[in-house]
Structure 1
Amino acid sequence: MEKWQDPKVIALWIAIALVLVFTILIFVIKIMHAGYKRMTEANLREARLQLEYQKKLLETNLKAQEKERMRIASDLHDSLIGKLTVIRLKSQTGVPITAIDEMLGEGIAEARRISHDLTPPLLEHTALQDLVAELINPWKENLKIDYFSDIRTEDALPPNTKIQMVRIVQELITNINKHANATAVKVHLRYTPNCIALLVKDNGAGFDTTILTKGLGLSSLELRMQYLNAKYTVNSTIGVGTTTVLVAPVPQTTTTNG
């Protein structure tokens, strides 16, 4: 009988083969376990970062709401209540009724503006391009505004989408008016069956986008962008101006006006 046919030799080779297979199997399992552990740790880190990001956005949202309440309270106290107090004093001193009527008209207009800032009237039944036009109209006293809308669908947007877009335009123009020292602004709105695109460009002082720190306004904008699932870019050149471009997908819940 050949040596390799010896049962002891065969058993030895089988044992060696089993040991090798078992060793390779353990090695593979350890590699897979290490890879799974690294992947799990990476997912946990990503989840923690996402949670921290969401927490910061929530804090920003709360701060933005509180800032908006303070602004409205200031408007009511300094503007509307001030006008009403003057009207009361004037009426007590015998001022002609025509003057009183004119001041009442100013007070009503101021109350309407504050109410419009809270929620635009007929939001559900007013087209987005009309809401934006109503919003920017008062700013034309301080800025030369070129507003252009390109509407390529008759589908109605959900009210929540419209109010977020209006607030984005409002915050961008407010920031331009406060910080950019601009004299002219372009606001271009495009609405197609697939997306909403917005361009806001000013001729102001500009800033260095590489050292931009997010203030409350920009953080609030980012929160609204996230709500709309939008992509956006901010390009700015010092001494030339700033351009903000936003593109948001159209929500699937849109309905066609009959």
Structure 2
Amino acid sequence: MNAPPATQALKILIVEDEVIVARDIAQQVQAMGYQVLGPTSMGEEAVGLAGMWRPDLVLMDIQLAGEIDGITAAQTIRETFGIPVVFLTAYAADDILARAKLTEPFGYVLKPFSERELSTVLAMALYKHQAEAKLLTTTRQLQALSRRVLEAQEQERRRVAIELHDELGQSLTAIKINLQLGERFKDQAPADLYQENIRIVEDALQQVRSLATALRPSMLDDLGLAPALKWMAEQSASRSGFEVQFHHERTLERLAPEIETACFRIVQEALTNITRHAQASKVKINLRRDADDMVLTVADDGRGFDTAAMRERAAAGASLGVLGMQERATLLGGTLDISAQPGQGSTVTLRCPWRTQGENV
């Protein structure tokens, strides 16, 4: 039995009980540019090799030596390892095919077959598996994002409720008490009671403004994206101590509202991550037009991170911020790229179609 090669070509495990046929299939598969694993003629051994080598696809004969046949082996491999299986068979009996269908195979190759038939079935099976894997990953990400968004929504509602109760509620209670005192004692009320009420009202107004700004800055709606990003960057820099540089494409036209909102939230999340984790001294934000695209970048000179590990956390739903940024980019018909290296900072890049107010999607 041959050991698996060390190159990066797609790996195919061949399970065939006829030695000559197995050798011929292996030669054909190798000529197509795939790595050949095996071959083996035993169903039990096929399961073990699939678990050890994790091939990209298993080419499985239905009739095998040993205690289990190819259908049983295929079912175990699919359920345990999630590896796609294509059946090889000389039997087209309805009962065998019906039983084989229960294992959800990615194709059938009826013996005898041509090299073209084999090549087509393998290519389609691998493509289908990759598409299903992407769909499964996307579905899991959306489920995780939906779950975390609901959690974040409840946390935000709780925060707003506490702000209203503890800050604004106390101010209004103080005003009420002062008005009751003034009504009760009339001319005997303290001389500065009126001024105190004015001060409390001014404080309450400031609390309302702060709360509204935290939810959505009016600057974004009134003045546009560039002033809002500049304001937010300066606020983050003053709190966190890093230097910020902001450059933007000067234009007389406002971008579409959904683009402005998405850009603002993506930069907000990027700056939050920089503040929490990067230990950066400089941050550069750039908003520009590239042909028909808008390009927004947020770069820092901080500690960086492992992008592969970050993507795994995001795929598992452990990073709501990254999933949220990616989802916003997708809804704009754009892409989000996050590049970083440990010790060399990071860059977040959003690219989407440049669209101004009033333009149709």
Q: Give the TM-score normalised by structure 1.
A: 0.71
Pick one of 335, 342, 353 that aligns with 1:230.
335
Q: 1:252 & 1:103 partners in 2: Cα distance?
A: 40
1:19 matched residue in structure 2: none
1:178 matched residue in structure 2: 276
Q: 2:229 & 2:302 partners in 1: Cα distance?
A: 21
Structure 1, 132-141 or 70-79: larger mean CA deviation: 132-141
When residues 43 and 194 of structure 1 are mapped into structure 2, their CA distance, relative to the original with a 3 A threshold, is same
Q: 2:160 & 2:355 partners in 1: Cα distance?
A: 39
* 1:15-60 deviation digits (Å, cap 9, x = unpaired): xxxxxxxxxxxx9973332222112212210221121122023123
Is residue 200 from structure 1 mapped to residue 200 from structure 2 by the alignment? no
Amino acid at match of 1:220: G
The residue correspondences of 1:100-111 to structure 2 (distance < 5 A) are: 100-111=200-211
Q: 2:205 & 2:351 partners in 1: Cα distance?
A: 40
1:243 matched residue in structure 2: 346
Q: 2:289 & 2:165 partners in 1: Cα distance?
A: 40
Say which SS state the counterpart of residue 304 (structure 2) adopts.
Answer: coil
Say which SS state the counterpart of residue 157 (structure 1) adopts.
Answer: coil
Structure 1, 98-107 or 224-233: larger mean CA deviation: 224-233
Provide structure 2 residue ranges, at least 5 long, that are not aligned to the other structure.
1-110, 179-192
1:146 matched residue in structure 2: 244
When residues 255 and 63 of structure 1 are mapped into structure 2, their CA distance, relative to the original with a 3 A threshold, is same
Q: 1:107 & 1:248 partners in 2: Cα distance?
A: 36
Asked if the contact 2:285–2:297 (Cα under 8 Å) also holds between the matched residues in 1, the reply is yes
When residues 60 and 189 of structure 1 are mapped into structure 2, their CA distance, relative to the original with a 3 A threshold, is farther
Say which SS state the counterpart of residue 287 (structure 2) adopts.
Answer: strand
Is residue 131 from structure 1 mapped to residue 131 from structure 2 by the alignment? no
Deviation (angstroms), 1:62? 0.8
Q: Give the TM-score normalised by structure 2.
A: 0.53
Q: 1:254 & 1:172 partners in 2: Cα distance?
A: 25
When residues 137 and 116 of structure 1 are mapped into structure 2, their CA distance, relative to the original with a 3 A threshold, is farther
Greater share of helix: 1
1:164 matched residue in structure 2: 262
1:80 matched residue in structure 2: 164
Q: 1:38 & 1:153 partners in 2: Cα distance?
A: 52
Say which SS state the counterpart of residue 187 (structure 1) adopts.
Answer: strand
When residues 178 and 158 of structure 1 are mapped into structure 2, their CA distance, relative to the original with a 3 A threshold, is same
Q: 2:247 & 2:300 partners in 1: Cα distance?
A: 17
Say which SS state the counterpart of residue 207 (structure 1) adopts.
Answer: coil
Provide structure 1 residue ranges, at least 5 long, that are not aligned to the other structure.
1-26
Deviation (angstroms), 1:167? 1.3
Q: 2:320 & 2:215 partners in 1: Cα distance?
A: 23
Q: 1:187 & 1:210 partners in 2: Cα distance?
A: 24
Q: 2:151 & 2:287 partners in 1: Cα distance?
A: 27
Q: 2:235 & 2:201 partners in 1: Cα distance?
A: 22
Question: How many residues are aligned here?
Answer: 225
Q: 2:279 & 2:164 partners in 1: Cα distance?
A: 28
Asked if the contact 1:72–1:114 (Cα under 8 Å) also holds between the matched residues in 2, the reply is no
Asked if the contact 1:176–1:202 (Cα under 8 Å) also holds between the matched residues in 2, the reply is yes
* 1:200-239 deviation digits (Å, cap 9, x = unpaired): 233444334454333222222222333342252322433x
Asked if the contact 1:153–1:192 (Cα under 8 Å) also holds between the matched residues in 2, the reply is no
Q: 1:38 & 1:53 partners in 2: Cα distance?
A: 22
Say which SS state the counterpart of residue 218 (structure 1) adopts.
Answer: helix
2:216 matched residue in structure 1: 116
Instruction: Tell me: higher relative CO, structure 1 or 2? Use CA pairs within 8 A at least 6 residues apart.
Output: 1
Is residue 190 from structure 1 mapped to residue 265 from structure 2 by the alignment? no
